[in-house]
Amino acid sequence: MKNKLYPLKFKPILKDKIWGGTKLKEQFNKPSDSNQLGESWEISTVPGDVSEVVNGKLKSQNLQDLLELYKGDLIGDKNYKRFGNNFPLLIKFIDAKQDLSIQLHPDDDLAKERHNSFGKTEMWYVMQADKGANLIVGFNQKMDDKTYLKHLEEKTLTKILNFDNVKTGDTYFIEAGRVHAIGAGVLLAEIQQTSDVTYRVYDWDRVDDEGNERELHNDIAIDAFKFDLKDDFRVDYIKEKNLSNGMVSCPFFTTNYIELDSNLEKENLHDSFLIYMCVDGEVEVVTEDTKEVISKGETILLPAAVKDFKLNSKNAKLLEVYV
């Protein structure tokens, strides 16, 4: 007999990066001794990096196995029909001590054809930014492949990229095919399709300890660019308290912003799992049988079978995600 499903917490999968720093361990208490901790994968079924449950009766089981066992009860019947045993989202926190490479991601069609993978449309919510920190998203002028390649060849790519100075709460929606990079000093939450396919087009000419540059993917990246995307990547959203305020809604995920200063009764009306990322404060997630607390920098997954629950908090800010 299958165990009854309940809100699931997972062991973070920690990734050292050449550009990583110390904020994930200092601000979110991620268990690492590294000074180059770049990413905390909160919920993942990427092969080789599958999330493991750390609470309740399903402790030590992994998300991939649970999906295959519980199917629609875990992710929703419509999602199971659409995705099968492929969990559709990858949830991360990212700390950029240095600039990330300038990059883009293929869409579903190209990713399936080349990598047998989902494409990668994503969004960012800035949790903290040092003074002067920026994000690169899109171009600062109308662009085509010929102009882009000329700047790439002449190493003047940064002249045509759009740099935005950012602060806490700033939110960006990055469709597959849009050029982007996280700038030094930015700590953010990332919600994305389940994909680890990145086309790196420029890496600031940096080298590793042995003098090697990281691989670039310009030969295949050019086909992935969508030069005709609109300049609509900045997300405006309302911050009315104790409500789910819409941020991003696209074919791959919906994300809402919730700011709590009192307890909130919730009902899952979507045929989907719900994910809560705590981006500030602390919240207690209460169901009929369970109570779980998540603090800033932590994440919880509510299976689709969990319909009624409470979010108890006096000070939490949450991202609410479903498909």
**What are 206's strand-pairing partners?**
none
**The CATH number of domain 245-322 is 2.60.120.10:** yes
Residues of the chain with CATH 2.60.120.10: 13-221, 245-322
- pLDDT digits over 251-287, tens only? 999 999 999 999 999 999 999 999 999 999 999 999 9
What is the full DSSP assignment across 84-153?
TT---EEEEEEEESSPPPEEE---HHHHHHHHSS----EEEEEEEE-TT-EEEEEESS---HHHHHHHHH
Q: Which residues are catalytic?
A: 200
Binned at pLDDT 50, 70 and 90, residue 152 comes out as very high
Domain 13-221 maps to which CATH number in 2.60.120.10, 2.40.50.140, 3.40.50.2300, 2.60.20.30? 2.60.120.10
- Rounded distance between C-alpha atoms, residue 299 and residue 22, angstroms: 19
Mean pLDDT of 113-133: 97
Q: Please name which of 148, 159, 204, 150 lies closest in space to residue 181, comparing C-alpha atoms.
A: 204
Q: Please tell me the pTM assigned to this model.
A: 0.96
pLDDT value at 2 more than 80: no
- Strands 180-182 vs 13-21: parallel, antiparallel or unpaired: unpaired
pLDDT value at 1 more than 70: no
Dihedral pair phi/psi, residue 148, rounded to 5°: -60, -50
Mean pLDDT of 194-199: 95
- pLDDT attached to residue 3: 76
3-state secondary structure at position 72: helix
Binned at pLDDT 50, 70 and 90, residue 160 comes out as very high
Instruction: Give the count of beta carbons closer than 10 Å to the beta carbon of residue 72.
Output: 16
| 245 torsion bin: left (phi>0), alpha (psi -120 to 50), beta (else) | beta
- pLDDT attached to residue 155: 92
Output 228-236 pairs: Cβ under 8 A, ≥24 positions apart: 229/138, 229/175, 229/177, 229/178, 231/138, 231/162, 232/173, 233/137, 233/138, 233/172, 233/173, 233/174, 233/175, 233/178, 234/164, 234/170, 234/171, 234/172, 235/123, 235/171, 235/172, 235/173
**What are 274's strand-pairing partners?**
302
pLDDT value at 13 more than 70: yes
Mean pLDDT of 29-44: 98
- pLDDT attached to residue 207: 81
Which region among 58-67, 103-112, 202-211, 258-267 has the lowest average model confidence (pLDDT)? 202-211
